[in-house]
Amino acid sequence: MSKEKINLNISGMTCVNCSNGIEKFLNKQKGIEETKVSFASSEGEFTIDNETMSKDTLIKKIELLGYKVEEDFSHLEKAQEKEFKNLKKLFSISMTITAFMFVIMFSSIVDASVKKYAIFALATVVQFFCAARFYKLAYKALSNKNYDMNVLVALGTSAAYFYSTFVVFFPSLFPEHLRFLYFDGAAVIISFVLLGRFLEERSKQKASDFLKKLMTLAPQLANLLKDDNSTKEVLANELKIDDKIIVKTGEKIPADGEIIKGHADIDTSMITGESLPAFKEIGDEVLSGTLNTNGVITVRVKKLASDTTLSKIINLLKSAQSKQIPISRFADKIANIFVPSVIIIAIITFIIWAFVGEMQNAILASISVLIISCPCALGLATPIAIVSSVSKGANEGILIKNPEVLEVIKDIKYAIFDKTGTLTKGEIAVTKTDIDKQYFSQILAVESLSEHPISKAIVNYLKDIEKQNYEIEDLEIIAGRGIKAKIENQLILLGNKQLLEENNIEIKTSHLEFYNERLELANGVILASIDKESIGSFALEDQLKDNAKELIENLKKQNIKPILLTGDNKITASKIAAKIGIDEVYSEVIPTQKYDVIKEVQEKGKVMFVGDGINDAPSIKQANIGVTLNSGADISKDAGDIILVNNELNSITKSINLSIETMKIIKQNLFWAFIYNAIGIPLAAGILYPFFGLMLSPVYAGIAMSFSSVTVVLNSLRLKLKKL
């Protein structure tokens, strides 16, 4: 037996039950060993036996179910965009028509004699145009023996619509007191369920945006060094192992490789999260997508474009994105039992009443059962609570991109944080200096000529100093060392200890003590000398954000363990963790390692990851909850489930509280919706008639249905009043 793994893009899935239905159907087919279909990523992963199943046959079987296989990712995107626009149009039409129906019902703009026909016409458009998708999906679900919300919506709204239609055109079939219309109830159900599907599709569509942006990070072109030492511009994806490439100042490195000539400061923040550029020289490895901030280097290619660290990040993101959604869809699960039960009860009700000779009661009671089981409250229970929750979050500076995560946040056991830009401000700043102010103007003049992050930090620290017009000579920016220049024939050095030692500068004891003391506390220290004498140093640090320590304390109170996960060096990471009370630290890790740590911790409990950089995207996507800051990279924001718009760390605590309150409301709504049906259906079936002579007519069934919906809506709106 020869096994083959096939990945396919599948369009046309509108809910998680679509993916479940595909899996159920294909798992029964001979030659298909394993099936995994993700509604979230519109992807299917299949393992087939080549001897009994081919790729073409597999595609035909999927398309037989009413879905479409898109070979090209761009075609899938177009199909999803089309579906999104279609849902938006259907919801807009349905809501507009429904609102107009209510205007006609409660006003005199239409003559009373034609009012019911006008309402019928409007309801027909909603029922068979706007809600056509529910009939199609209900058919698919029933074909796969899967009784989901689509079946419930189609069944309930059809009962209300067709009963009302018979009342309009054949009123003589009904006694005077039973001639009621339920068109408005069916239209309201359809409108709100469409709203829920629209919100879900929008969330799903945005989920892949970050991948497209990430793919543009690596440079498309490379400067290939030929045998005659001339250069030729080639496509980066055409580079072969052992090719030599030239990377100049300001250029991104097009492939993973090793420096064989030159040295430079490389900005690796995209990969490692390090806030300071790393000095790289001959023999050091460099990664695709990182930036050469100064210097010219020659790099020998060690990995193909398909095997670079950046490409691995993209693959990890795809893998994380296709994981199964952890949300429990209460309504759909119970609907698998509820829907067939309602049909059976309606049929039994009809048979019993017909058997005892009460044909009119048989018709009315069975219709009442279907109307009272109409899933208005059930359909509104989750979407209305979610809309209220998302609105409340927005008011608090919390943008919930994927509402489904609200169910997961309350179960979080571990909160894992990136350091740079998340817990810290991500900007190198001078925190202290022992240099006399008389030297500031000269230092400012020299550092102003460099674009290096450290130079910018020093310039910012000295921004209030009056700038003087010095004539600067022999300016030299030395990669990995610092800056060298002359002012009025005085040699000025600003850089690391090695730079001063190479120029035979003796560091004074007092300056050395300050240097060693600050080195223990800060990210780095820049020494300075003028005219062959040391004058002191600048201490650099990436400062903690406001509320960082308070957030960690609050998480511990909620029995959530905080963990620091960063690409920064061990000493810096440990010091930052100690300051805010984090006990577990992972340092010097690249994105692929971060991803592995997340997966490892997930074996012990649900994980929330908070980050803001491009390098954090795989971790954000793999975690059960991905949280990012509005100040972060676009890719991390696209990958995240929640964006902290105000960049306030205490909004993380508010997100947890909002999740807890939202789930309380949803469970209350679902409880009410099902209890209402549990009580209402027997009443509609006529259980009280033998004892009290009472029948629940369709009009009262409709009132009960509407009352349950109002209760659910009002209960959901309480979220807006909650204090987080």
Q: What is the 3-state secondary structure (H, E, C) of 542-609?
A: EEECCCHHHHHHHHHHCCCEEEEECCCCHHHHHHHHHHHCCCEEECCCCHHHHHHHHHHHHCCCEEEE
In a domain, 675, yes or no: no
Check residue 421 and report its DSSP letter: I
| Encoded tokens for 693 | 């002579």
Residue 254 lies in domain: 219-307
Residues 539, 574: one domain? no
Q: What is the enclosing helix (H) or strand (E) of 720?
A: none
Check residue 440 and report its DSSP letter: H
Are the CB atoms for 124 and 101 separated by under 8 Å?
A: no
Residues 460, 565: one domain? no
Residue 491, domain CATH: 3.40.1110.10
Are the CB atoms for 437 and 538 separated by under 8 Å?
A: no
Sheet bearing 412-417, strands edge to edge? 398-400, 642-644, 625-629, 606-611, 412-417, 561-565, 584-586
Q: What are the backbone angles phi and psi of residue 253, rounded to the nearest 5°?
A: -80, 125
User: How many angstroms from the chain centroid is the CA of residue 6?
Assistant: 26
Q: What is the enclosing helix (H) or strand (E) of 610?
A: strand 606-611
pLDDT of residue 327: 38
Beta-bridge mates of residue 3: 49
Q: Which residues of 68-103 are buried (b: 16+ CB within 10 A; e: fewer)?
A: ebbeeeeebbebbeebbeebeebbebbbebbeebee
pTM of the model: 0.56
| Encoded tokens for 324 | 């199964």
In a domain, 570, yes or no: yes
Are the CB atoms for 582 and 552 separated by under 8 Å?
A: yes
Residue in 129, 287, 267, 241 with CA at minimum distance from that of residue 194: 129
- Rounded to an integer, what distance in angstroms lies between the CA atom of residue 342 and that of residue 158? 14
DSSP string, 251-288: PBP-S-EEEEE--EEEE-HHHH--SSPEEE-TT-EE-T
376-395 and 330-355 helices, crossing angle to 10°: 160
Check residue 126 and report its DSSP letter: I
pLDDT of residue 33: 85
In a domain, 344, yes or no: no
Q: What is the enclosing helix (H) or strand (E) of 49?
A: strand 43-49
In a domain, 90, yes or no: no
- Rounded to an integer, what distance in angstroms lies between the CA atom of residue 420 and that of residue 576? 10
Q: What is the mean pLDDT of each run of 10 residues along the chain (724 residues)?
A: 78 70 82 78 80 86 81 71 86 91 83 85 93 84 70 77 88 75 80 72 57 66 88 87 91 90 82 67 87 89 79 56 44 64 84 80 75 63 74 78 76 87 79 91 90 86 85 84 89 90 90 86 82 91 82 90 83 82 85 84 91 76 84 63 79 87 84 78 80 68 65 79 78
Residues 293, 436: one domain? no
pLDDT of residue 413: 92
In a domain, 630, yes or no: yes
Residues 11, 45: one domain? yes
Residues 499, 646: one domain? no
Helix ranges restricted to H, 624-718: 634-639, 651-685, 689-692, 698-717
Say which residues have a Cβ less than 8 Å from residue 463's Cβ, sequence separation at least 6: none
In a domain, 55, yes or no: yes
Strand, coil or helix: 350: helix
Considering its fold, how many domains does the chain have in total?
Answer: 4
pLDDT of residue 328: 41
Residues 444, 510: one domain? yes
- Rounded to an integer, what distance in angstroms lies between the CA atom of residue 217 and that of residue 614? 10
Residues 549, 420: one domain? yes
Residues 458, 480: one domain? yes
Residue 651, domain CATH: 3.40.50.1000
403: amino acid identity, one letter: P
Domain boundary among 250, 280, 307: 307
In a domain, 371, yes or no: no
Beta-bridge mates of residue 524: 540
Residues 296, 225: one domain? yes
Residues 651, 562: one domain? yes
Residue 293, domain CATH: 2.70.150.10
Strand, coil or helix: 420: helix
Which are the catalytic amino acids? 418
| Encoded tokens for 236 | 């980066």
Residues 403, 466: one domain? no
Are the CB atoms for 288 and 256 separated by under 8 Å?
A: yes
Per the document, the length of the chain is 724
Domain boundary among 622, 640, 656: 656
CB-neighbour burial class of residue 216 (10 A; exposed 0-12, middle 13-18, buried 19+): exposed
Q: What are the backbone angles phi and psi of residue 607, rounded to the nearest 5°?
A: -120, 135
Question: Pairing mode, if any, of strands 482-487 and 297-301?
Answer: unpaired
Residues 405, 437: one domain? no
Domain boundary among 628, 656, 684: 656
- Rounded to an integer, what distance in angstroms lies between the CA atom of residue 154 and that of residue 174? 24
Sheet bearing 3-11, strands edge to edge? 32-38, 43-49, 3-11, 68-70
| Encoded tokens for 1 | 């037996």
Are the CB atoms for 168 and 35 separated by under 8 Å?
A: no
| Encoded tokens for 271 | 């990969």
In a domain, 333, yes or no: no
| Encoded tokens for 578 | 């100690």
